[in-house]
């Protein structure tokens, strides 16, 4: 995880993959901690981050890695990168949001196939389905993630933080309540 100045955080893997998932020999202990203590849940911590999080995805983002990618606000992926949900294959129920977030992004039928069949989702298909914001050559990945960060940095940072919050909070509400939330924040911002 790299801080991009004042504008946000960039999350990238080191090596050939973004994140190949949780070590299955330690998975039970990892996820037990998350259920008991939200402070140890990395996705909860990412969701609490007020600054935009830009995910730079190369290689594989498997299961827990896929869930971490879904916690990012913007995804930049290298051509050939793959997202894969292996929860069903290994009999581990998701706890970092994959079952709910993926269907909201790519649609429920596509999400069911990706998750229930453990079918790899290529970055190319992810871009077509709205998961990936930018698809680039591997050697351009971090450069593009930085360009996105710089574009965000050029904007009013107070508004960026509030805007991110209103989008994320609004996704938890029905449309009527989400629109009311936007109006309430608008009136706070104007006063």
The confidence score (pLDDT) of residue 8 equals 62
CA distances from 95 to 30, 36, 58, 100, 173 (A): 11, 12, 23, 10, 20
Same domain? For 92 and 8 the reply is yes
What is the average pLDDT value for the chain, to the nearest integer? 86
CA angle 31–32–34, rounded 5-degree value: 60
Over residues 158-187, mean pLDDT? 95
Which residues lie below 8 Å from residue 120, measured CB to CB, with a gap of 6+? 82, 83, 84
Domain that holds residue 138: 2-153
Q: Pick the residue with more confidence: 25 or 97? A: 97
**Reported pTM:** 0.83
Same domain? For 164 and 77 the reply is no
Which residues lie below 8 Å from residue 174, measured CB to CB, with a gap of 6+? none
Residue 73: Cβ within 10 Å count: 20
Same domain? For 29 and 118 the reply is yes
Same domain? For 16 and 47 the reply is yes
């Amino acid at each position: 995880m790299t801080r991009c100045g004042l504008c946000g955080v960039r999350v990238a893997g080191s090596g050939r993959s973004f994140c190949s998932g949780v070590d299955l020999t330690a998975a039970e202990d990892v996820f037990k901690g998350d259920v008991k203590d939200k402070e140890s849940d990395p996705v909860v911590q990412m969701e609490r981050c007020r600054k935009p999080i830009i995910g730079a995805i190369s290689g594989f983002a498997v299961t827990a890695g896929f869930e971490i990618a879904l916690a990012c606000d913007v995804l930049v992926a290298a051509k050939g990168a793959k997202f894969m949900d292996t929860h069903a294959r290994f009999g581990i129920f998701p706890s970092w949001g994959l079952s709910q977030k993926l269907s909201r992004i790519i649609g429920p039928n596509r999400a069911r196939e990706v998750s229930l069949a453990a079918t790899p989702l290529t970055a190319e298909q992810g871009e077509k389905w709205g998961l990936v914001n930018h698809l680039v050559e591997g050697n351009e990945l971090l450069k593009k993630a930085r360009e996105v960060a710089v574009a965000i940095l050029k904007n009013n940072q107070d508004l960026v933080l509030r805007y991110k919050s209103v989008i994320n909070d609004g996704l938890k509400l029905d449309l009527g309540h989400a629109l009311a939330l936007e109006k309430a924040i608008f009136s706070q911002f104007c006063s």
